[in-house]
């Protein structure tokens, strides 16, 4: 029988870390190729499935290997309260690009321009999955499949297309970028094929992205307030799109 710790370490170099029960649950729901899952408490994990995700209970029962708590904790950078972790295959870049560039497009693409905060990026992926957008693109050095981003996204990377691209590789479509100098978003109808760009938490839009922007938009905000959190800005923008655009509506 293969030693589970050895098997984990062999896979970990190239696989996506699913940190926690909810990340694993969502990955299974949205078709991820999960190669291995471990837990420090199999009974508790399956009870959680019975309560919150009976649709994936059978798959979890097959996947989960119970390890001593110390062994489980050695496999993850920050043990999750649910004491569950798994490894899944990262989707191929070509498949992600096909999903992002397919036309006609019935929902926007969200672009995070040179983001810095891993948790914020994960929260945006979670929002994108909830609103049913086409995908999330990051520019710059942040890997959107970093374990901390996947943890922040609760495994919902597998519910949408997620990839890192250069500004020159962005999908086609009218590019709307959020900026304090832009037009009030409340007077604009966002089309379903929009590319919605958001600058970094610290420095805003890069010069390269700003040069490609078709429309600058601003969210309503009191003059004394300097900015919104990145994920909050994305949420407000996607909600505006969902209530004003085309045929698409988030379920």
CATH number at residue 153: 3.40.1280.10
Same domain as 181, residue 113 = yes
Q: Is the pLDDT of residue 100 over 90?
A: yes
Asked if residue 113 is part of any domain, the answer here is yes
Verify that 139 and 38 share a domain, yes or no: no
pLDDT tens for each residue of 174-195: 999 999 889 999 999 999 999 9
pLDDT (tens digit, 9 = 90+) per residue, 27-58?
Answer: 999 999 999 999 999 999 999 999 999 999 99
Q: Which of 88, 111, 128 is the last residue of a domain?
A: 88
Whether residue 200 has pLDDT greater than 90: no
Please tell me whether residues 109 and 191 are part of one structural domain: yes
Q: How many independent structural domains does the chain possess? A: 2
Quote the pLDDT of residue 204. Answer: 87
Q: Is residue 196 part of a domain?
A: yes
199 and 149, same structural domain?
yes
For residues 134 and 59, state if they share a domain: no
The residue written with tokens 């672009």 in the block is: 111
Domain stop point among 88, 109, 141: 88
Q: Using pLDDT thresholds of 50, 70 and 90, give the confidence band for residue 246.
A: low
The tokens describing 128, both together, are 């994108």
Mean pLDDT of the chain: 93
Contacts of 189 (CB under 8 A, 6+ apart): 244, 245
Q: Are residues 53 and 169 in the same domain?
A: no
| For range 85-95, the mean pLDDT | 97
pLDDT of 76? 93
% of the chain with per-residue pLDDT over 90 = 87
pLDDT tens per residue, range 139-151: 999 999 999 999 9
Amino acid 247: pLDDT: 47
- Residues 170, 74: one domain? no
Per-residue pLDDT at 1 exceeds 60: no
Q: Is the domain of 142 the same as that of 98?
A: yes
Residue 102 and residue 201 in one domain: yes
**What's the pLDDT at 203?**
80
Q: Show which of 88, 108, 134 is a domain's final residue.
A: 88
The whole-number pLDDT of residue 16 equals 97
Inside any domain, residue 131: yes
Residue at 249 is within a domain: no
Q: Per DSSP, which regions of the chain are E strands? A: 16-19, 34-39, 64-66, 84-88, 109-112, 135-138, 161-164, 175-184, 195-198, 215-218
Retrieve residue 109's tokens. Answer: 């693409």
Residues 221 and 240 in one domain: yes
- Residue range 125-129: mean pLDDT, rounded: 97
- The burial class, CB within 10 Å (0-12 / 13-18 / 19+), for 222 is exposed
Q: What is the pLDDT of residue 91?
A: 96
Which pTM does this prediction carry? Answer: 0.93
Is residue 38 domain-shared with residue 18, that is, in the same domain?
yes
Answer whether 205's CB lies under 8 Å from 113's CB.
yes
pLDDT of residue 239: 96
- Domain of 17, CATH number, reads 3.30.1330
Q: Which domain holds residue 56?
A: 4-88
């Amino acid at each position: 029988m293969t030693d589970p710790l050895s098997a984990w370490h062999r896979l970990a170099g190239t696989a996506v870390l699913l940190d926690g029960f909810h990340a694993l649950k969502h990955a299974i729901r949205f078709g991820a190729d999960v190669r291995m899952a471990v837990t420090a408490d199999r009974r508790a994990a399956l009870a959680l499935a019975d309560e919150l995700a009976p649709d994936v209970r059978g798959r979890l029962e097959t996947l989960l290997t119970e390890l001593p708590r110390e062994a489980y904790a050695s496999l993850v950078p920050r043990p999750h309260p649910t004491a569950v972790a798994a490894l899944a295959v990262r989707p191929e870049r070509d498949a992600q690009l096909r999903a992002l560039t397919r036309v006609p497009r019935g929902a926007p693409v969200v672009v995070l321009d040179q983001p810095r905060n891993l948790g914020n990026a994960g929260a945006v992926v979670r929002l994108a999955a909830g609103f049913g957008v086409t995908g999330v693109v990051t520019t710059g050095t942040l890997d959107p499949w970093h374990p901390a981003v996947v943890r922040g996204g609760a495994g919902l990377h597998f519910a949408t297309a997620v990839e890192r691209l250069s500004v020159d590789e962005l999908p086609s479509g009218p590019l709307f970028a959020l900026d304090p100098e832009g037009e009030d978003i409340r007077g604009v109808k966002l089309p379903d094929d929009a590319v919605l760009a958001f600058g970094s938490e610290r420095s805003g839009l890069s010069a390269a992205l700003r040069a490609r922007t078709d429309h600058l938009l601003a969210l309503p905000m009191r003059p004394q307030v300097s900015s919104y959190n990145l994920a909050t800005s994305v949420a407000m923008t996607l909600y505006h799109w969902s209530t004003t655009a085309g045929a698409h509506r988030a379920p």
